[in-house]
């Protein structure tokens, strides 16, 4: 299990963060110069160069959002202008895309970050530019909310697999509904019926907490505290839950660790967001206390599972039920080995999960739960300390990736296996690099007493 360093402070990572942003700048500029955009959005690296592969253009916002985060961290105007220009020229189709569950990924990473920077005074105020960003987020939230399946106890935003499919990763994407609602927007349906985006966000969060997360209550033979299913399957004729499933994990009865990480971060971040609503605003949707308790239980469970089922350095293997993990011996009692012969690790899950641990820890400490809050906070710092070091941070100037040893789709065999290696390793992903930047910015702001990093600004 993760060996939490309780002596580590954010300031201890300052030197590593400085190197991280230097390397990050080089990587972004190398992609800007050399990537052929006519191939589609960059997804993951093959022999150190970004390539495209996948179902949708779900990583484009991470590409341009990385430039915006780089500006936020360093003040270098090149990255602001690059990110703004690409957002204006390339991101509009993502606002009206009715075929995906990824609005919160693509559009909050671009339009959302730019609006946040303007609200924080980090870029000059311009009323029409601000209106442009706000309109984009309003529309994106409503379009995402329209991708809706009713269930016997509410509903959810369905995945690109179809109306029967609830993905655990959509939990973080549904932040776009919260952002749109905060800007005063609604979804309008037949006969101009006004549909609350906050209500749909709450129903989706509740469905994810109930069906995607397990709590050791005997739902099936593999029900343990904090395990997650990548996909939950519903009968669309009557709205009943049918079974767990997985698209990118090993099975519906094991835990794909990147899906686990999306849940960790999603619940922690939405706990923070809901503190911005009054009790009166939340009363029609179940009330402040029950909603907080539901999200907090899911956040604790998933973070606990991560801590218990991750090697000592905090970098997980791609699935906790991967079939050849037993060949690695007592792998949870030693650091992860990205160059082993049997199962890949997934550093992108660590980049996402670290921020979830940090946010949950801070939330609990502010609620005067010092002991449990400190556990999660220090766990997050421990994971970041590993990610920002060898063999994960990419120092090779010819490699376009920033964080090494990320996995996209192990079951499909999409990831590159280098010569003389038996498993995929040594490569990066656009989502892994983006979320490493986001977590690094989160810590940097805390170190320098800057405004706390939130998606709503």
Write down the pLDDT at residue 55: 74
Distance CA 7, CA 159 (A): 41
> For the chain, what is the mean pLDDT?
97
pLDDT digits (tens, 9 = 90+) for 93-132: 999 999 999 999 999 999 999 999 999 999 999 999 999 9
Distance CA 379, CA 325 (A): 23
DSSP 3-state of 18: helix
φ, ψ at 219 (rounded to 5°): -60, -35
Residues of the chain with pLDDT under 70: none
pLDDT digits (tens, 9 = 90+) for 434-444: 999 999 999 99
Distance CA 338, CA 160 (A): 31
Cα–Cα–Cα angle for 30, 33, 34, nearest 5°?
80
Write down the pLDDT at residue 56: 81
Percent of the chain surpassing pLDDT 90: 97
Map out the domains of the chain with their CATH numbers: 10-447 (1.50.10.10)
pLDDT digits (tens, 9 = 90+) for 59-76: 999 999 999 999 999 999
Distance CA 334, CA 325 (A): 13
What pTM value is reported for the model? 0.97
- Tokens representing 427 are 């490569």
Task: Give the distance from CA 212 to its chain's centroid.
Answer: 16
- Tokens representing 295 are 């999200």
């Amino acid at each position: 299990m993760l060996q939490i360093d309780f002596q580590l402070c954010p300031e201890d990572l300052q030197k590593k963060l400085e190197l991280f942003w230097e390397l990050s700048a080089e990587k972004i500029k190398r992609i800007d110069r050399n990537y052929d955009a006519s191939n589609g959005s960059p997804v993951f690296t093959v022999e150190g160069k970004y390539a495209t592969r996948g179902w949708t253009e779900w990583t484009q916002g991470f590409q341009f959002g990385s430039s915006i985060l780089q500006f936020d961290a360093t003040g270098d105007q090149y990255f602001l202008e690059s990110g703004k220009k690409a957002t204006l020229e390339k991101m509009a189709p993502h606002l009206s895309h009715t075929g995906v569950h990824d609005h919160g990924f693509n559009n909050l990473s671009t339009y959302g970050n730019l609006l946040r920077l303007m609200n924080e005074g980090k870029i000059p105020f311009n009323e029409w530019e601000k209106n442009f960003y706000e309109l984009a987020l309003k529309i994106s939230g409503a379009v995402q909310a329209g991708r809706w399946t009713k269930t016997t106890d509410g509903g959810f935003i369905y995945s690109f697999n179809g109306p029967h499919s609830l993905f655990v990763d959509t939990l973080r994407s549904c932040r776009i509904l919260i952002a749109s609602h905060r800007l005063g927007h609604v979804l309008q349906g037949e006969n101009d019926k006004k549909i609350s985006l906050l209500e749909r966000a709450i129903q989706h969060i509740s469905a994810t907490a109930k069906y995607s997360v397990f709590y050791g209550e005997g739902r099936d033979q593999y029900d343990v505290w904090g395990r997650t299913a990548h996909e939950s399957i519903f009968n669309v004729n009557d709205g009943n839950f049918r079974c767990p499933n997985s698209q990118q994990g090993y099975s519906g009865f094991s835990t794909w660790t990147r899906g686990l990480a999306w849940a960790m971060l999603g619940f922690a971040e939405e706990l923070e967001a809901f503190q911005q609503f009054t009790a009166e605003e939340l009363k029609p949707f179940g009330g402040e206390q029950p909603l907080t308790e539901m999200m907090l239980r899911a956040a604790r469970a998933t973070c606990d599972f991560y801590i218990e089922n991750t090697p000592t350095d905090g970098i997980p293997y791609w699935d906790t039920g991967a079939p050849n993990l037993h060949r690695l011996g007592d792998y949870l009692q030693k650091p992860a080995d990205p160059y082993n012969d049997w199962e890949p690790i997934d550093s992108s899950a660590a980049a996402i999960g670290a921020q979830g641990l940090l946010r949950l820890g801070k939330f609990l400490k502010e609620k005067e739960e010092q002991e449990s809050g400190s556990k999660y906070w220090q766990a997050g710092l421990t994971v970041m300390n590993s990610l920002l070091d060898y063999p994960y941070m990419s120092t090779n100037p010819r490699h376009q990736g920033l964080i090494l040893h990320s996995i996209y789709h192990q079951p499909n065999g999409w990831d590159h296996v280098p010569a003389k290696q038996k498993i995929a390793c040594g490569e990066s992903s656009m989502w892994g690099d983006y979320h490493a930047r986001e977590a690094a910015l989160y810590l940097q702001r805390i170190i320098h007493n800057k405004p706390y990093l939130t998606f709503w600004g």
